Structures are given as C-alpha cells and as structure tokens.
Amino acid sequence: MILITGVLFSCENDIDQIKALTDDLDFPVQTVKNGTFHYTENAKLTNTLIAEVLNRYEGERARIEVEGGFEMLMYDSLENVSAVLSAERGTFFDGEGILEAKENVVFHNTEGAILKTEELIWLQDSDKVYTNKFVEITNEDGSIFSKGMTTNSKFSYYRLWEVTGDILLDQPKKDEQDEP
C-alpha cells in the first residue's frame, strides 16, 4: 500500500516545472491564412498587408511573422498607392515598429523604380528603410547596383553605398562653336 501511495504522489506535476518547460516554447497565439489587413493613422489609410500566412506571437518581444509571401502597399496622404514592398518572409516587431522583409524582396514606386535585394528593414517611427545587403535598382534609365542603401517607405528617394552600374544621363548638346 505504501508503494502504491508513493507511486501515485510521485506522478503529480509541479505547476512551476510545467511552466518552466513551456515558457521556452514559442507558439503563435493567432494564425491567419490568405489575410488582408488595413492599417490607419488618424483615420487615414497608411498601409495594406496582404499575406499568405500570418502568425502573431506574444511575449517579451511580440511580433507578427509572415511566410509564404506577402505584399505591403504604402499609401500617400490622398490614400493612393505610392509604393509596394513584397517578399517571401517578413517579421514585424510590434513594440519596436520594425519590419524585416527577407528573401526575394522587391520594392517599387509609382515612378517605375524597382529595388531588388534579399533583406530590407523598415523603421516605422522614422520612416527609414535600409539594407546592408546587395541591391539592384532598375528604372527607365538603366540599372544600378550597390552594397547597402537607405530610402523612405514611399521609395521616393534613395542613398546608395559602394555603387556600380550603367546609367544614362542627359548630356548638354555642344554648339558647333564650342568644338575645338
């Protein structure tokens, strides 16, 4: 009888031990498939996220992870699409306002410029978008390559580092009088 009582009481699980084991496991609290999410600020549409699979995680560093591909539409003050960011995967750190887009990242604006890279980071509070990875930017004038760049969420301007490539520039026409 003492042996049976000992076995029964030894099978009891300590809640602190269970909590310690499960705290390290990271499971999404919400999963959405084929979702579209609209983000507003002061009642104005700022972004739309279209995601294949979206997983929301809570905890110390709350985040939203997107996999299977996503597209983020950026809007101007008149709620017209001004730029589109797409990638295979992405992570948005909610409390920090940081979006990390990874794998086959493509960012294009309404002027026809297309940026391609493997990683792009958007700091929402400062509207800064950057990468330290290899970048290709193509527009009607040609292609330019760099290792690293900075732009804004509208991709309306950009600053590049370690630049290479061919670009067509308008050259002033020489007068016949200016010829030597």
Q: What is the DSSP code string of 38-106?
A: EEEETTEEEEEEEEEEEEEE-STT-EEEEEEEEEEEEE-TTS-EEEEEEESEEEEETTTTEEEEEEEEE
Quick one: pLDDT band at residue 180, thresholds 50, 70, 90? very low
pLDDT of res. 26: 76
- For residue 11, pLDDT over 70 is answered with no
Contact 57, 29 (CB under 8 A): yes
- For residue 133, pLDDT over 60 is answered with yes
- For residue 78, pLDDT over 50 is answered with yes
Quick one: pLDDT band at residue 25, thresholds 50, 70, 90? low
Mean confidence (pLDDT) of the chain: 85
pLDDT of res. 166: 67
Domain boundaries defined on the chain: 28-167
pLDDT of res. 10: 52
Q: Name the class of domain 28-167.
A: mainly beta
Q: Report CA 171 to chain centroid distance, whole Å.
A: 38
Looking at residues 121-149, what average pLDDT do you find? 93
Structure tokens at 26: 């990271």
